[in-house]
Structure 1
Amino acid sequence: MADRFPSPFEIETPAGAEGWQELYTYSSLFSEDRREYEDGGFWFHDGVHWPEAMTPWDTTFLEFALASLSQYNTRHYMIPPAYGVDYRILNGYVYLSPVPAPVEEIEARVPLFLDRAGFYFGNWDRLYSDWLEKIRGLVQQMTELRFEPLPAMEDREVITSGAGKGSGNALLASYHRLLDLGLTLWQYHFEFLNLGYAAYLDFFGFCKAAFPSIPDLAIAKMVAGVDVDLFRPDDELKRLARLAVSSGIDDRFTAGGVPQVWEKLEADEVGRAWVAEWEKAAEPWFNFSTGSGFYHTDKIWIENVEVPLGYVTDYIAKVKAGVDLDRPVAALHAERDRVVSEYRDLLDSDEDRDAFDAKLGLSRTVFPYVENHNFYVEHWAHSVLWRKMRDLGGVLQAAGFIAGTDDVFMFRRNELADVLWDLYSAWAVGAPSRGPALWPKEIERRRGIHRALQEWSAPPALGVPPEVVTEPFTVMLWGITSDSVAAWLNAGGDGEEGVLSGFAASPGLVEGPARVISSADQIGEIQDGEILVAPLTAPSWAPVFGKIKATVTDVGGMMSHAAIVCREYGLPAVTGTAFGTKTITTGQMLRVDGNTGKVTIL
């Protein structure tokens, strides 16, 4: 077995991707200037959030996210053992490295953390209510941004109102405003998230100390059965399916594409009433990405109506067949209460039971945010920002700077400010811009580089593996453990033949045929009774959980979105198998044991 992963400085550029470094911010690249630090660290590929090669502008949210996450650990809440999470881009793929706090600082950070985090924990409901108002207000500000072509002549009202500024100023200001709002969005994202995980990890640590043999899954069960907004899009689809059946218009969904279905629905008052309910649900709940929300290429439900409409059609069939569409909340609560009661009874003292109750109570209070933020930030807000960027792309396309609106994502975010300056300055002067002669060819070159990067297979990790992985966030969210690191080093060669190991992420034992998919575009291939095998799953895949028997993913730990969503839908799941999609093929019979984390190819 190898004793280390490849050095980032040894990785070769894929054929056809020469010059890929020009696509990304200079500070996000591995460099000789920091070689001692970078080559001596441990960097893992974040396949949970960024599984594919990034286009230049899309890295904006990567950089905003990691800087914001880190500052709350390091500078705001003073998390005692942890600084931030460092990040690098290599051949277009994202690698992360958690940075521990210096040992000599930890003790001094403890009282600071207790004071600052304690304020939030003590005022959680009020502060979280304020957060919901802030985030909705922020999305509204994003929605109001306008990107419009520069006029041949300013309106007379610009003169008569005494505005003192014109359309070029507005165009440049709107782009800077978009970036400012995007960064603020990610500041808000981590205002609560790190504390949500901290509370759960505190409870997790207490349970591990009090009950040394307790499975991680048993601890997760104790906070299951939460009611969160992340499930609202799926709930709306179910509501619309029930309404279609009760209204007697279910036969209008059986054939044809979206235009044909809509034409049938618009034909009478009953159908139009259903469409009105659809539109009421669509904003905001169908601003839902089929992927992680970090790629402009991810399909958004509200812009790709065939996706949610297909789910509604599937649900209509189940409603007519008498299938119960509701999440098994009562069963989750019963199992949750059973597990809590049995472990609580094992504690020896009232003091320990009081501590257990307090830590569990706090975890349940803060845990909904761990999932809720995902809808508001990565899905709703990002959907709006992607649309605004396409509006900006339309301005540049009309001016001849780019060939298509999506070409705007092939600019680096700070580079785009210079592009807009070229457009504005030439318009102001009345002379030619340089951009139309320069950028179409350059964008075509960059797209070729990006295509080559997409064909590259990113190694799971780089650098020197840690002796033991102890940082809980890394284990629970990303699924990076000492065992997974060892398996990567040995390319999975030491495992039992025909058996994959991962996290026992959601309980249950089932057998069925595998359906291996690599992206959301293949969701339509999933058949009833199959076991979904995928690199990862997105929250918006929840509607297929009524079809499948279980889920197996390559990446993600116990507290990844895939794990949490599967538990809430009562679906057995094994996450973080590392080699699931590479080992399993569609049609193979599998046994998935969500209680032990074992997947057996039968």
Structure 2
Amino acid sequence: MSDTEMQTKSFPSPYELKAPAGSEGWESLYPYNLVFREELREQEEGRFWFCDSQHWPNVFKPFEVTMVEFASRNLGAYNTRHYLVPPANGIDYRIHNGYNYFSPVPVPPEQIAARVPHFLERAGYYFQNWESLLENWHTKVTDNIKAIEAIDFTPLPEMVPMETITEGVGYDPSVDLFEAYDKLLALAYRNWEHHMEFLNLGYVAYLDLFQFCKEAFPGIPDLAIAKMVAGVDSVLFRPDDELKKLSTLAVELGLQDAFTRGDGNAEATLTALREAPRGQEWIQAWEAAQDPWFNYTSGNGFYGDDKYWRDDLDIPMGYIRYYVVRVAAGETLGRPKDELIAERDRIAEEYASVLDDEARATFEGKLGLARTVYPYVEDHNFYIEHWTMGVFWRKVRQLSNMLHEQGFWPQPNDILYLSRDEVRPVLFDYASAWAVGTEPIGPTYWPKEIERRRAIIAALEQERPQPAFNTPPAQISEPFTVMLWGITTEQVQQWLGSDDAEEGVLSGMAASGGVVEGPARVITNASQLGELQQGEILVAPVTAPSWGPVFGKIAATVTDIGGMMSHAAIVCREYGVPAVTGTGKASTTITTGMRLRVDGNQGKVTILD
């Protein structure tokens, strides 16, 4: 398809796409600056927007918008104001029919050169002092997590403690309540600032290596470059590694019967272990692994109802049960790290050998930097999306349940149907009535309003999001869009229904090598992971890093969105699972049971039925 032909096709305008029946008025649930406004129609229709279902695959409840705001604002700030990344500013964001849409903001070509010296100075300082700055980063982030853990939301007392009088405190617990809520948001925001401090530098270092390789080695596959930095020792894999260690220990202690009988329920298994010889030894190891490694979600941390291992011990215990069976059968559970390292070194040397001394030194310098900073591309995910957000949502639920018990809303987690800015007046309503000696107004207002909002959210959830809006550019070359989301010119053509598309073949990113055939299992929610059977091909809108424990079952992975540096791609490479990411519509085109051929070398998924 020529550029001219591509321009004749377009995605619908967000202004023309109707809301699902029953969701009318959904715009009022979200901040005014995050919906497509009629007075900005000409401007907004002139830009290309794509749905970021990689990070936000579900409809937002109002409170959950907080995370897309924190993440997107801070991503933009580091590109635009901290490091002045030469070709890329931030990524603008809007919500439409409850889903998140992104539009990258490029730097005007005439301004790029002026940003280069600033970027080299600022990013260069981080690259030169990476280890010490990263050590400081860990301290900052974990200190903030501890501060969030210390926050406590309890009901206001019948009367203030006598110490308030005798010590002349001069204020009541409402002050602590207000400050605790403000502090909760401030600490989460601060850790999202830290999230972006190193992240794009990891991508920039890899992109620098990538661009050098493309110029120095014409025709080099993208996957070959990605393999050069494989074999990472990321903390993101540590929770799964802990489960494998616990499973191996269970077999070594002769405790496998406690895991294989029953349905894998954590409490029943622990009860059986308490009665077994050496069972207490295993329980001690289990308890030791939980802090911090069970601060891990089967989702992605962006939604208030994501389930965390720490809060639902049946999740990790279910994985352990599966691992115990494999260990008892004599299988080895470890990731193929040694093989990945040997392969990456072989590939790097093979390409380096054709360079002259000067070019080889440049190549090895860029490769060394990329390998140094690359682990952070995944490490941050555990510290922020999993650990920070796990603690954050736990405190949000505590506050919500406290207000539920005071009669403000019908269900314990209904605070999610309020925006973060609507919660503050609720707290004042509660504290004011407590002070005056009357009943708060909220219990007469919020239950009905929350039910209205609940119905709107439920209606929005009935439809999958439109993949993109408006006319795409003739060529998509913005590097982060391509590497992280897998949004390429070819991918957009496929979304638009290119006349060149092969029937029964989906194209995407060759994200992790290998060719396999097998039956498909379409998973749209983490709660369905238990349905996966040995040897099936996982097909999903997107995978979460915490799905690692199921990778021992599956033959391959196929996702709708994601580039070479997406979490799905990185995790699949580290587990040695073939993967094609960024297909656009695999999860809606393929149905469970279809037989597929997944070619992770070429980025092709063929429906064989």
Identify the TM-score tier after normalising by the shorter chain. Answer: over 0.9
Q: 1:579 aligns with which of 572, 575, 585?
A: 585
Question: Is contact 1:224–1:333 with CA below 8 Å preserved after alignment?
Answer: yes
Q: C-alpha separation between the residues in 1 aligned to 2:9 and 2:598?
A: 31
1:76 matched residue in structure 2: 82
Give the equivalent residue in structure 2 for 1:112: 118
Contact 2:484 2:566 in 1 (8 A): yes
Any residues of structure 2 matched to 1:75-474 within 5 Å, and which?
75-256=81-262, 257-268=265-276, 270-347=278-355, 349-474=356-481
Please name the residue that 2:559 is paired with: 553
- Provide the rounded CA distance (Å) in 2 between the counterparts of 1:477 and 1:290: 21
Residue of structure 1 in register with 2:595 after alignment? 589
Partner of 1:25 in structure 2? 31
Q: How big is the shift at 1:293?
A: 1.4
Describe the SS at the equivalent of 1:96.
strand
8 A contact 1:117–1:195 mirrored in 2: yes
Q: Deviations over 1:167-204 (max 9, x none)?
A: 11111111110110111011000000011111110111
Structure 2: distance between partners of 1:597 and 1:3: 24
The 8 Å contact of residues 236 and 281 in structure 1, kept in 2 or not, is answered as yes
1:57 corresponds to which letter in structure 2? F
Please list, as runs of the form range in 1=range in 2, the aligned pairs for 1:470-489 lying within 5 A after superposition: 470-489=477-496
How far apart, in 2, do the equivalents of 1:158 and 1:212 lie?
75
- How far residue 269 of structure 1 moved from its aligned partner, in angstroms, is 6.1
Secondary structure of the corresponding residue to residue 86 of structure 2: coil
Q: Where do 1:490-501 residues align within 5 Å?
A: 490=497, 494-501=500-507
| Per-residue deviation, 1:493 | 6.0
Deviation at 1:515, TM superposition (A): 1.4
- Equivalent AA in structure 2 for residue 136 of structure 1: T
- Can you list the C-alpha shifts for 1:374-418, whole angstroms capped at 9, x where unaligned? 011001110101100011001211211111221011100111111
Cα distance in structure 2, aligned partners of 1:444 and 1:583 = 34
CA distance in structure 2 between the aligned counterparts of 1:462 and 1:116, rounded to whole angstroms: 35
Specify the SS of the correspondent of 2:433: helix
Indicate if the aligned counterparts of 2:153 and 2:399 stay in contact, CA closer than 8 A: yes
Letter in 1 for 2:220: I
Distance 2:107 2:359 in 1: 30
Q: Alpha-carbon deviation of 1:162?
A: 2.6
Name which of structure 1's ranges 302-311 and 378-387 shifts more when overlaid on structure 2: 302-311
Distance 1:106 1:162 in 2: 60
Once the 2 structures are TM-superposed, how far is the Cα of residue 586 of structure 1 from its aligned partner? 1.8
Q: Which runs of 5+ in 1 are unaligned?
A: none
* Cα distance in 1 for residues equivalent to 2:289 and 2:187: 25
Distance 2:97 2:277 in 1: 55
Whichever residue aligns with residue 440 of structure 1, its letter is P
Q: Distance in 2 between matches of 1:507 and 1:210?
A: 22
For residue 569 of structure 1, what is the aligned residue in structure 2?
575
Distance 2:167 2:478 in 1: 59
Taking the aligned partners of 1:4 and 1:577, their CA distance within structure 2 comes to: 18
Counterparts of 1:483-522 in structure 2, within 5 Å, are: 483-490=490-497, 494-522=500-528
Q: Distance in 1 between matches of 2:514 and 2:246?
A: 30
Cα distance change, pair 493–389 in 1 and its aligned pair in 2 (3 A): farther
Distance 2:499 2:179 in 1: 55
With the length of structure 2 as denominator, give the TM-score of the two structures.
Answer: 0.97
5+ residue gaps, structure 2, are 1-5
SS in 2 for 1:495: coil
Deviation of 1:340 after TM superposition, in Å, equals 0.2
Report the secondary structure of 2:539's partner residue. strand
Displacement of 1:595:
0.7
SS in 1 for 2:101: strand
Q: Deviations over 1:4-49 (max 9, x none)?
A: 2111111212211112111111111111232232110010000100
Partners of 1:149 and 1:398 within 8 A in 2: no
What is the CA distance between 1:464 and its match in structure 2? 2.2
Matched with 1:11 is: 17
How many residue pairs get aligned? The number is 600
1: distance between equivalents of 2:338 and 2:266? Answer: 36
Distance in 2 of aligned mates of 1:575 and 1:394: 39
CA offsets 1:93-151 (integer angstroms, 9 cap, x no match)? 00000001122321111100000000000000000011111111111001001111111
In structure 1, how many angstroms separate the alpha carbons of the residues matched to 2:267 and 2:233?
A: 35
Distance in 1 separating the partners of 2:586 and 2:517: 16
| SS state at 1:111 partner | helix
**Equivalents in 1 of 2:471, 2:182: separation in Å?**
40
Contact kept, 8 Å, 1:41 with 1:464, in 2: the verdict is: yes
Deviation at 1:255, TM superposition (A): 2.5
* Aligned equivalents of 1:228, 1:564: Cα separation in 2: 11
Distance in 1 of aligned mates of 2:17 and 2:366: 45
Equivalent position amino acid for 1:54 in 2: F
CA drift at 1:526: 0.8
